[in-house]
Structure formats: structure tokens, C-alpha cells
Amino acid sequence: MLDLLRAPVAQAIAQHLDLDLAEVMPLVIPPTKAGAGDLAVPCFALAKARKVAPPRLASELADTLASTIPGAQASAAGPFLNISFSPATVAGMLLPALADNPCVALRDDSGAGHSVCIDFSSPNIAKHLAFHHIRSTMIGNSLARIYQACGWDVARINFLGDWGTAFGRLIAGWKRENLSLSDLEAADDKVTFLNALYVRISTAAEADASVAEEARTWSKRLEDGDTEARELWQVFKDASLTEFHKVYGLLGVDFDSWKGEAYYEDKMAPVLAELESSGLLSKDDGASVVDLSAEGFKKPVLIKRADGGTLYATRDLAACQDRFNEFNFDRSMYVVDLGQGLHFGVGFAVAKKLDKPYADRLRHVGFGVVLMWDETEQAFLKGSSKKGRVLLLTDVLNESITRARAIVAEKNPELSDDEQNAVAHAVGIGAVVFNDLKNGRKGDVKFRYEDALNMQGDTGVYLQFAHARLCSIERRFASTCADAPAGDVQLLTRDDEKNVLLLIARMRDALRLTLDNDEPSQLAQALLQLAAGISSWLSAGSKDHSARVIGDDLAVSAARIRLVAAARATLGEGLRLLGLIAPERM
């Protein structure tokens, strides 16, 4: 978007110096100092090529620009050329593009023809989605949306942890207690039911060796493909998915692939064969391992257990290859907590050792932990509200929605019940999600309802309100200014209007930074800045009548409403890209 401003500048310079536009474009940059205009051109390279002193070229170009771009002021500051535009000039360059495509500030085609796999959420089944799952789920979800907005083909993958010895135990417990499908069906929350069963069988196995043996036998039967074991495993998996879908539904998250660990369980032979034939596999106490000491990993990677069973690492290797076969990815990302850094480091090193064409395309998008404020302890605690109890994601989301409902009812009692519920949902969920995304992902996240739902803070609800405020101005304009003329950009003359336009134009840089660093916080912060710019523009009207969007001069109002529409669309789309809903009324 900023390119729309840069292009005419680069064009004029290119023409004047008889150069290619493409050569000059990269030299036109955002100002290096605050107050140094809207764009700058460091003239060193250009001057060198012309064999003149940079300051001289800067002032020569300043003259050229002033005469070729109406509304531009150009001046030389030493070797730098600084350019500023009048608000109307900026509006004239940007608003038509934004009218054609309201989301254009948050679009980019840099990913066209490229594909990316994003492995995110990927919980273990027969367990609840805990509060910490918000991180992988929503970082992954927003990256998926942002990659899509940048033209990439995105495969959203939920690599369910649906394999392992825990399932043998569960089956053993189920059989011992003579449970039936109707028992599970009757449970309010099926995962809670399975958890409780798991606790009972584990306690029994500890007390009685024969129970532990039963559990092992069932694990083995499951691995060997025994029909009864498989059927029960499927029951557990379906029950878990039913619960997961409720939470994903609340969050508005979807996946394209649900191939989990179990899918790869019988597809491991080629992986092992390849490691074997490349001479990477060695024996260690009956187990098969890959030695990565040359790559700096002290411990060899366990690929196959002595009893023949495969492991998480092996299944990930198989899944990686399978994704490449299916999606021919240019990038494959794993949105998984930083604690699994070693697991991915090792996996990527194996891919390299195998000379995989995709070895350099793998990325671990790690993140820190989430801490919840505890009133009793007066501290942010990890993972649990009460000691030892897992804090469920659904519980946090629902509590946030309940609190949001109270805020919404107070703020706007005129909304119908249904509307209040919908807004409370958007605000409650948005509070949790935005709190998670607003800071760099590698840091830990602190969560406190009051902070996340603070309308004056750097929060989702602050952004949602800014968006709803713009919507309401548009509605008022539509109902009271039906016979307004078409908005003329020449009437946008205020600096705060120009500021909003520039903030919109800079969104694409935030998008690029987000992609380059897999860091949704870049977009989140840019949206906060945009909202702040919008707010100071709109607030000017409360002191100065002439600054109001809808004021006495219909022609001016019509021009301003175009900027309102552009800002509203950009903010709304930015929120969507982060995974938030932007209600039109709040």
C-alpha cells in the first residue's frame, strides 16, 4: 500500500535520472527519523553513479519532485531527500485503491504459487484442551489466515496425538469395568469420563501387577491391529473429537487435515528403510537410533524401541515426508511450545542428513507458556487455577464470555438479547485470543480477565470498539446524509486524517514482518497503532466542531466517510486475520 505513495516518487526520480523504476523503488523508504516527512530517499548510491555529491543530488531531486507531484513537498537534508505529502495527496493515492478492494491494505501476493503446511493445536486425545492449548491453536490459526492473505496455499493440519500406551490402559480399564457405549454417551463431557477412567485404571495398575500386565497386553493388541482394541480406540478418539470440536467451534478454528500420529503408525516401514539404507541407523541396546553428535546433539535419537514400537519422533518424520508428498510445501511449520525445541531440532537435522529437498523449509514456530492470574495466591500461575487441577480452555473462554456479557449490557443496553450474546461471544473470546497474540510469541503470556477485557487497554475489545464506532458513524451517515455528493479527496486536509491513511498504508509492512518472523504480534501491534490514530482523529471532533466526520458541510462529511470506511474495513480485516470477530454494533 505504501507502494502507492512510493511509486510516483520513484517514477519521477527514475525519469529524471533515466533509470529503471525497479532500480529506484527500493531506495524510496519510510523516513528514518520522526518528523522527517512521509518518505525518504538516501541519495548515496544514486549520487555515486552520477559522480556528484549526495547533497547536491538530493536538492536537485527535491526540485524535480516538487514540480512533478502536486501536493508533495520535497527538501534535501544533507544526503537525504525527504518527501511529505499533503493529506489530500495521500488520500488521492490511497482511497481509490481501498474503495476498489477494502482489504487491500492487508493483502499481498508474495506467496502466490507457494504452499505452506501449518501444524497447529495438535492436542493429545482422551485429554482436555487445556488453557495452554490456546497458544498453538490461535497462533497457528492467525498464521494460517495471514499466509492465505498473502497468497499462499495453506494446509492447516491438526496432528492429533492419538497413539501411545495410554490407549492400551484405557481399553484395559473399559474392559475391567464392563463399560458400554451407552455409559460414554450418557456422560456430559466424554473426555472427563475417559480421564476419570484413566485415573482409576492407573491407580489399579499401580496396586496390582496383573492389572498393569492387562494394560500392556491391550497396548500390544492395539499396536497389532486387533479389531476389538481398534474399535474401542476409535470410540475414544471420536469422543475426544466431539469435545474438541466444541472448543474449536467457540474459537472459530478449522483444519484441512486431521491426520494424527495413529495414521502414521503403520506407515513407518519406509522411514526406517530409508534411514537404514542411508546408513544412519545404528543399534543401541536393541533399539534403533540415529547418531547426531556431529550435529551437536549429545543424545542419539531413538527411532525404534527394542520391542519394535515406534515413537513420536519417528511418526513426525513419516508425517513430514507425507506432507511433502501431498502438498509439495515450500514451507512447513510446527506451531508447538518452545519446550519441544529439541524434538524439532533433531527431526530437522535428520531430514538434512537424509538430504531431503525440504530440509531447509521446516520451521519450528515455538512459543512461551501461558500464566493465569490467581486471586488467592496474588500471582500469575502456570497451567492450573487450583493446585494440580488442569485449567480447561472451555472454562476460561466461557468465563470470559460471561464477564464480557456484563460489560456489553452496561455499555449498550439497547442491543437485543441475541445481539448482546453475539457481542459478548466476540468480545469474550477476542479478549483471550488478542491477549495471547499481542506480544512476541516467544515470551510468556500473562492472563488476567480484567486486563484482557479492559476497554482502555491494548486489548481485543479496544480494537473491536474502535471498529464498531466506525460502523456506527457509517450507519449515521447513511441515514442522515442520503443526498451527500460523492466524497472528494481534496476535502481531506487534516493531519490526523493523513495519519490514519499512513497507518493503513503501513499495514502491509506489518503483514510482511508477521510472515518473515511468523509473528502475529506484528500485525496485532500495527492494529493497536491504527486504532489509536483513528481514536485521536475521531476525538478531535468533540473539541472542535469542524473536525467532526458528520458535520455541517455535507461535502466534507462525504469525503471523511470514505476514510471512515477504509479504516473500518482495514481494522475489521486485521481482526479477522488474528482470529477475532469484529461486531458492527457494540
Binding residues for ligand ARG restricted to 425-444, rule: CB under 6 A? none
The residue whose grid cell reads 549429545 is 298
For the bound state, the minimum distance from the C-beta of residue 123 to ligand ARG, rounded and expressed in Å, comes to 6
For the bound state, the minimum distance from the C-beta of residue 43 to ligand ARG, rounded and expressed in Å, comes to 50
Q: Which of 434, 389, 429, 448 is nearest to 128 (CA)?
A: 389
Question: Binding pattern to ligand ARG, positions 287-326, x when CB under 6 A?
Answer: -----------------------------x----------
Question: Binding pattern to ligand ARG, positions 324-363, x when CB under 6 A?
Answer: ----------x-x---------------------------
Q: Of 122-130, 143-151, 238-246, 414-422, which segment contacts ligand ARG by CB under 6 A?
A: 122-130
What are the residues whose beta carbons fall under 8 Å from the beta carbon of 491, sequence distance 6 or more?
88, 555, 556, 558, 559, 560
For the bound state, the minimum distance from the C-beta of residue 316 to ligand ARG, rounded and expressed in Å, comes to 5
Nearer to ligand ARG, 145 or 323 (CB): 323
For the bound state, the minimum distance from the C-beta of residue 148 to ligand ARG, rounded and expressed in Å, comes to 21
Please tell me the distance from the alpha carbon of residue 115 to that of residue 201, in angstroms, as a whole number: 45
Measured from each CB, the residue nearest to ligand ARG is 161
Nearer to ligand ARG, 88 or 241 (CB): 241
Q: Of 118-126, 181-189, 348-356, 451-459, which segment contacts ligand ARG by CB under 6 A?
A: 118-126
Please tell me the distance from the alpha carbon of residue 442 to that of residue 439, in angstroms, as a whole number: 9
For the bound state, the minimum distance from the C-beta of residue 122 to ligand ARG, rounded and expressed in Å, comes to 4
Nearer to ligand ARG, 128 or 508 (CB): 128
Q: Which of 279, 282, 277, 236 is nearest to 260 (CA)?
A: 236
Give me the half-sphere count of Cα atoms (radius 13 Å) on the Cβ side of residue 135.
25
Nearer to ligand ARG, 119 or 497 (CB): 119
383 binds ligand ARG (CB under 6 A): no
Terminal C-alpha separation, the chain: 30
Nearer to ligand ARG, 76 or 365 (CB): 365
The residue whose grid cell reads 512510493 is 6
Nearer to ligand ARG, 128 or 403 (CB): 128
Contacting residue, 82, 89, 115, 122, with ligand ARG by CB under 6 A:
122
For the bound state, the minimum distance from the C-beta of residue 315 to ligand ARG, rounded and expressed in Å, comes to 8
Residue 129: CB atoms within 10 A of its CB come to 24
The conformation of residue 28, written as its DSSP 8-state character, comes to -
The residue whose grid cell reads 501536493 is 71
Q: Which of 207, 127, 128, 225 is nearest to 170 (CA)?
A: 127
Please tell me the distance from the alpha carbon of residue 417 to that of residue 143, in angstroms, as a whole number: 34
For the bound state, the minimum distance from the C-beta of residue 564 to ligand ARG, rounded and expressed in Å, comes to 43
Nearer to ligand ARG, 240 or 464 (CB): 240
How many positions of this chain bind ligand ARG (CB under 6 A)?
9
Q: Which of 571, 508, 582 is nearest to 149 (CA)?
A: 508
The residue whose grid cell reads 493440519 is 157
Please tell me the distance from the alpha carbon of residue 94 to that of residue 101, in angstroms, as a whole number: 11
Question: Binding pattern to ligand ARG, positions 85-114, x when CB under 6 A?
Answer: ------------------------------
Q: What are phi and psi of 39, to 5 degrees?
A: -140, 160
Q: What are phi and psi of 312, to 5 degrees?
A: -50, -50
Nearer to ligand ARG, 64 or 340 (CB): 340
Nearer to ligand ARG, 122 or 464 (CB): 122
Q: Which of 500, 550, 557 is nearest to 87 (CA)?
A: 500
User: Starting from the edge strand earliest in sequence, which strands make up the sheet with 379-382, in order?
Assistant: 379-382, 370-374, 445-447
Q: Of 50-58, 119-127, 290-298, 428-436, which segment contacts ligand ARG by CB under 6 A?
A: 119-127
Nearer to ligand ARG, 329 or 334 (CB): 334
C-alpha cell at 275: 534411514
Nearer to ligand ARG, 124 or 529 (CB): 124
Cα angle value 218/219/220 (rounded, 5°): 90
For the bound state, the minimum distance from the C-beta of residue 124 to ligand ARG, rounded and expressed in Å, comes to 5
Nearer to ligand ARG, 159 or 358 (CB): 159
Binding residues for ligand ARG restricted to 490-509, rule: CB under 6 A? none
For the bound state, the minimum distance from the C-beta of residue 250 to ligand ARG, rounded and expressed in Å, comes to 20
Please tell me the distance from the alpha carbon of residue 184 to that of residue 345, in angstroms, as a whole number: 40
According to DSSP H, which parts of 79-132 are helical? Answer: 87-100
For residue 74, the surrounding DSSP H or E stretch is: strand 72-77
119 binds ligand ARG (CB under 6 A): yes
Question: Binding pattern to ligand ARG, positions 129-168, x when CB under 6 A?
Answer: ------------------------------x-x-------
For the bound state, the minimum distance from the C-beta of residue 433 to ligand ARG, rounded and expressed in Å, comes to 20
Please tell me the distance from the alpha carbon of residue 299 to that of residue 152, in angstroms, as a whole number: 37
Please tell me the distance from the alpha carbon of residue 265 to that of residue 166, in angstroms, as a whole number: 15
Residues written for the chain: 586
123 binds ligand ARG (CB under 6 A): yes
Interface residues with ligand ARG (CB under 6 A)?
A: 119, 122-124, 159, 161, 316, 334, 336
